[in-house]
Amino acid sequence: MASLRCPRCSAMVEVGGKQPHCPECNFPYRDSRPGAQTASTRTSADPAPTGEPPRGRPFGVTVIGALDIVGGVAILTSGLVLARAILPMLATNPQLVQLLRTSFGSVTVVLGAFAIVQGIGVLRGDGWAWTVQIAIAVWSAASDVVRGADSAVPTIALTALVVWYFLRPAVRRWFGKTPIALPTLRRLPA
């Protein structure tokens, strides 16, 4: 029996075994090598091979993960630049400047690093990243509504779009979540 690496967690998966899932992360695994999957290793859930490559990461997940990483780098960079350059200009009280520099710099470093880790988790398909992404989207919309910000309506629309997209079956599968049946609009018979 050959063993290959799981595309999600990089654990070794025995090919040809009865269980077509990764033993570490339970990722549904299918050997995508040409001719590698035989009738004995194929489960009833797997369709017969048609020559199509197996589906990978959804494009929207790639975009959101990349935006998380770029946003994290921007937060990290702007926090470090502001802590080094602008705060010393407020040299009215040296102790206050030092306190602001350390607190502002450390908070932005933590937020920037978290956004980068979040983006990597989204790109890898980690289940916690799915939960955190939805929580961040809802938190952002709720905070804009509470503050009464002028951008509350576009933020709510964007949040609804992100949450809707993350509830799509292909996206939920990418993150290892069980797909749910979303309500659809059907015409009633006349």
Structural domain that includes position 9: 1-31
Residue 85 lies in a domain: yes
Residue 187 lies in a domain: no
Residue 53 lies in a domain: no
Give how many domains the chain has, as a whole number.
3
One-letter amino acid identity for 183? Answer: P
Q: Write down the pTM of the prediction.
A: 0.60
Locus of tokens 């369709």: 47
CA distances to 9, 21, 41, 99 from 18, rounded to whole Å, are 20, 9, 6, 60
Residue 54 banded pLDDT, cuts 50, 70, 90: very low
Same-domain pairing of 146 and 164 = yes
Residue 44 lies in a domain: no
Residue 47 lies in a domain: no
pLDDT tens for 145-170 read 888 777 778 888 888 899 999 999 88
Beta strand extents in 1-98 (DSSP E only): 3-5, 12-14
Residue 43 lies in a domain: no
Residue 104 lies in a domain: yes
pLDDT at 43: 47
Residue 7 lies in a domain: yes
Same-domain pairing of 117 and 133 = no
